[in-house]
Amino acid sequence: MSAISFAEELRARDDAAIADLFLARPDLLSPVPTDVAALGARANSIPSLMRALEGLNRWQHDVLIAASSLPEPFAVKDLVAITDESATFAINDLWSRALLYKDGEKKYRLPGNLRTMLGDEPAGLGPHTIRVINLDDLKKAPKASLDVLSRLVWGPPRGQIGATKKPGAAIGWLLENNFLQAVDSHTVVLPREVGMHLRGGKIFSQISNTAPQITGAKRKQKEVDRAAIANISTMLRWVEELAHNWSDEPPVALRSGGLGVRDLKRSAEHLGVDETCAGFVAEILYLAGLVVIDSDDQILPTNAFDLWLTKSHEDRWAGLVALWLETSRVSGLIGKSESKNIAPLGPELDRTGISSTRKTILNILNSNHEMDADLASITNLSQWLSPQRHNAEFIEWSLREAEWLGLTGQGAISSFAIAILEGNEKLGVEDALPKPIDHILIQADNSAIAPGPLTLELANMIGTIADIESRGGATVYRFSEGSIRRGLDHGQTGDQIKDFLKKTSKTAMPQPLEYLINDVAKRHGRLRVGQANCYLRCEDEGVIQQILHDKRCEPLRLRKLAPQVIISELELNDVLIGLREAGYLPAIENATGILVMQPATRRAKSRPRPPRVISEIGRPSEIIIQSAVRALRAGEKASAHKPRDIPRTTANETLDLLNQYIEEQASLTIGYADTNGGVSNRLIDPISISLGTLLARDHATGELQHFRIPRITGVSPA
């Protein structure tokens, strides 16, 4: 009796079983197979089987490996004998996923390509042998021979020796008694029957049908949420600060795309974090379309950033978290390539499966509220849940990024993250964040304290004229020559800066700060930079001489052109940055010699271009599954009954046949031409004809549709 085929077994399954298959393997739905034969071919394809294996947990995967070690067809009792009694339940699940199919009522087989994928040596077992082996002879085996077998029993089953013709006493005895078999002149293999005997009849030394437990320190939810809201506030501030910083001093993208090492280091110093964290913040900005690599290769904020600032803090945070959960980019890879450095915003950060890893981790934490889970226990559980996708580094990076984002606090999941996982509209972030304040406290040492989060307008202004010195519940800003110069570059005057500080500070402005502002404002613009490519001019010849003899200015390649003029081969922006780093205060002038102030904000001319996402197939809805099953059955019926070529009929013949089938309430197949002239066969139940249009129920969709009679090329019985 010939074995049943995979497609034949699928054809025998009922609609509920096909729906379960589509639910477990949603990749089979895109596009919906035309019939069961097409479904079987797709379900047995290598890409689909790889995705199906990725959806198995460790127990299911081990049972499948054990099944592949048995000769086909195998019975449930055979599989239970080499694994565990609970394998019965795993078999049912593997069958619903079409990773096993039935051959009769009590026998099972594996799809052909799946057995090939799992390999010829499952669980480290060697091939079957056709030679006669007396396993009782192992009791007489020399100790040296048993030592050889112990090294091969759990795999790999193959070993190398000097020569099979002169193997030595220990291996020679094993070869003579067929406990080892020669593959070639230097390789021996342990037969599967011997391996299973030495393993005690079990395919694995340890096998468990239960997931490992999570261990860790207990936390209180209030403390967790308090830490999480601090992380949320910090993350939103990082995103805002970095975008403003790139607006002031935009980095230039690498030729290969992405942020260079020097610019990443500068951004990290500005935020007061390490480069790993700065790279993550840069990636979040890029994902959200808040920054873009502009047409001139400068990395600049987009107009979307200004719109983002107008949203509530909860909406800002929720949008960033949603992008992080779905993106396929892994910021932890930044700088970690052996061949070349991987840059933030670059094209090399995409990895498949990372989105599922993040969601799995959050679901694990959500199942263990108020627990700061150990990394090792999360790694073990994640490996058990998805052994094919397991990556210990990805798990560690995802936990770190979840803490930065405020999805966790003190290592435990926050109530805000729980609200996101449950799909709640209100997350509670806005209520938990401290209310913004509209004042600062200027100190006598040229610093200012913001006792809480500042309003948007105040934060933008103070961030322009002062540098952040320390962060926390209160932010400390430091006024310096460079920060005041930055404010002047943005179009502010010295008097405007002083008026702003007097208005917003609840403490008096100290005289040293006022003197600093007056001094910088007086000197600002005395040295002017223009584009020749490019020139410097200054009415004070002493400053010109100072620059020419300043070793810090040697990289600018300056040359004196006239008593008050210096030229350089470098670009204008490079000269500006170099002079400022050397302690000078240059300003830009236009072609007519008028001082040019930079705009307060710089925005990219290009539209936001968020990076592509290697999407993962999501869980299909019940409606989609039902429609797919209905379409599959209709296609199967059409394939079984309709002729491949429907004979063409005239208009009168078409009308007569349609009226006949309407009276008989019978199904029929029509050839129907689309607007492009292509003809497809449709299996329908005709209902009525009106105004040259046929109303019928399409078997593929299960819905009523209208068919124009002039487009019906032929009619045939179903």
Q: What mean pLDDT is predicted for residues 525-544? A: 78
Residue 320 inside a domain? The answer is: yes
Say yes or no: 690 and 646 in one domain. yes
The SS3 call for residue 527 is: strand
Selected residue with higher pLDDT from 1 and 245:
245
Tally the C-alpha atoms within 13 A of residue 572's C-alpha that lie toward its C-beta: 14
C-alpha distance across the termini of the chain, in Å: 32
3-class secondary structure, 193: helix
Cβ-Cβ contacts under 8 Å for 694 (sequence gap 6 or more): 658, 686, 688, 706, 707, 708, 709, 712
488 and 541 in a common domain: no
Residue 463 sits in the same domain as residue 344: no
pLDDT at 141: 86
Q: Choose one of 198, 230, 247: the last residue of a domain.
A: 198
> Helix %, strand %, coil % for the chain, to 5?
45, 15, 40
Does a structural domain hold residue 628?
Answer: no
Residue 512 maps to a domain: no
Kindly state whether residue 162 falls inside one of the protein's structural domains.
Answer: yes
**Is 242 found in the same domain as 375?**
yes
557 and 674 co-located in one domain: no
Listed in sequence order, the DSSP H helices in 585-703 are: 622-641, 651-664
**At residue 308, does pLDDT exceed 90?**
yes
**Residues 394 and 247 reside in one and the same domain:** yes
**Shared-domain flag, residues 194 and 234:** no
Query: Looking at the domain assignment, is residue 494 inside a domain?
Result: yes
Q: Is 635 domain-assigned?
A: no
The model's pTM: 0.72
- pLDDT digit string (tens) for 492-516? 888 889 898 989 988 998 888 888 9
Helix (H) or strand (E) holding 689: strand 679-690
pLDDT digit string, tens, across residues 203-255? 888 888 888 999 999 999 999 999 999 899 889 989 998 998 898 888 999 88
Q: Are 429 and 317 in contact (CB under 8 A)?
A: yes
Residue 1's pLDDT band, with cuts at 50, 70 and 90, is very low
Radius of gyration of the chain (CA): 36
Are residues 414 and 310 both part of a single domain? yes
CA dist., res. 643 & res. 647, Å (int) = 9
The domain spanning residue 51 has which CATH number? 1.10.10
Task: Out of 121, 143, 172, pick the residue that ends a domain.
Answer: 121
Same domain? 289 vs 160:
no
Residue 78 covered by a domain: yes
pLDDT at 665 over 60: yes
Cβ contacts of 289 within 8 Å, gap of 6 or more: 302, 304, 608, 609, 610
CB 269 within 8 A of CB 259: no
User: Which tokens sit at 377?
Assistant: 């226990």
For 533, the domain range is 526-584
Average pLDDT (532-561) is: 86
Predicted confidence (pLDDT) per residue in 160-209, tens digit: 888 878 888 888 888 888 888 888 888 888 898 888 888 888 888 888 88
Residue carrying the six token digits 């002493």? 542
- 146 and 176 assigned to the same domain: yes
Q: Are residues 229 and 364 in the same domain?
A: yes
Identify whether residues 156 and 292 lie together within a single domain.
no
Residue 613 counted as domain residue: no
Tally of domains within the chain: 6
Domain boundary among 584, 608, 629: 584
